[in-house]
Structure 1
Amino acid sequence: MSNVTRIRHELPVSKDIARTVAELDAALVKAIDAAKDAGLPQGLLVGLLHGHAHAQTHQMVIE
Structure 2
Amino acid sequence: MSNVTRLRHVLPMSPDINKAIADLDSAIARAVDAAKTAGLPQGLVVSLLHGHAHAQTHQMVTV
How far has the Cα of 1:2 moved from its partner?
Answer: 2.6
Q: Give the gaps of 5 or more residues in structure 2.
A: none
Runs of 4+ in 1 over 3 A off after TM superposition: none
Q: TM-score, normalised by structure 2?
A: 0.95
Pairing 1:1-63 to 2, within 5 Å after superposition: 1-63=1-63
Partners of 1:62 and 1:18 in 2: how far apart? 26
Q: Percent same amino acid among aligned pairs? A: 70
- Aligned residue pairs total 63
Q: Give the gaps of 5 or more residues in structure 1.
A: none
RMSD value over aligned CA atoms?
0.7
Q: What is the CA deviation profile of residues 5-58 of structure 1, one whole-angstrom value per residue up to 9, with x for unaligned ones?
A: 110001111100000000000100000000000000000100000010001000
Q: TM-score, normalised by structure 1?
A: 0.95
